[in-house]
Amino acid sequence: MPLRLGDEAPNFTADTTEGKINFHEWLGNGWGILFSHPKDFTPVCTTELGYMAKIANEFKKRNVKILAVSVDPLDAHKGWINDINETQNCTVNYPLIADPDKKVATLYDMIHPNALDNMTVRSVFVIGPDKKIKLTLTYPASCGRNFDELLRVIDSLQLTANYKVATPVNWREGQDCIITPAVNDEEAKQLFPKGFKTIKPYLRYTPQPNK
């Protein structure tokens, strides 16, 4: 059964390029990203893992741990990482799960027979400190993901987890937010001392509350 938003992220134990991990213990009390790759030594994946390494500090600033998974074995991963570092001018600095028995891929429904018979699609799971799934994305094997968008989404998820706001289209850190409809105007005055602008009764903007 496919995983849905709000479901608990399934726990697992797996070998990675940085040793054996228990997923939930490894996450600790922070956020996490689990993202899959169809196969080692493939061109699009090489660019993705390289770019993620370059912006890993941005995720660290947000208390987000990064974990990649591919169905190839550990020795293949290690050789591939050398290629990634060489071709993408980076240092891969996060673990890559070896999943040759497809245990993790099956737990997270990453095998889509209509797309790829024996390889994972490009799935992304953002997991909160409560071990619940906060966001899922699925791309075909032919399309590289936008990791800058993942940073934007995490900024929104972390903001809206703590304040009664939502983020509008194309929102970026520091921009105005939308007050959720469940908050009435009187409550909004207390919650948002910077004030708010009412466009429609259901559409009220306020400055980002944690800035």
Q: Residue 106 belongs to what H/E stretch?
A: helix 103-107
Neighbour-count burial of 172, counting CB atoms closer than 10 A to its CB (0-12 exposed, 13-18 middle, 19+ buried): exposed
Partner residues linked to 31 by β-bridges: 64
* Residue of 45, 90, 143, 177 marked active site: 45
> For residues 177 and 157, is the Cβ–Cβ distance under 8 A?
no
Q: What are phi and psi of 176, to 5 degrees?
A: -60, 150
* Cβ neighbours of 91 (radius 10 Å): 12
> For residues 122 and 42, is the Cβ–Cβ distance under 8 A?
no
Q: Which two structure tokens, joined as six digits, stand for 42?
A: 């493939």
Q: Which two structure tokens, joined as six digits, stand for 52?
A: 């993620």
Q: Across the chain, how many H-helices and E-strands are there?
A: 7, 11
Q: Which two structure tokens, joined as six digits, stand for 69?
A: 């998974």
Assess whether 177 carries a catalytic annotation: no
Residues designated as active site: 45
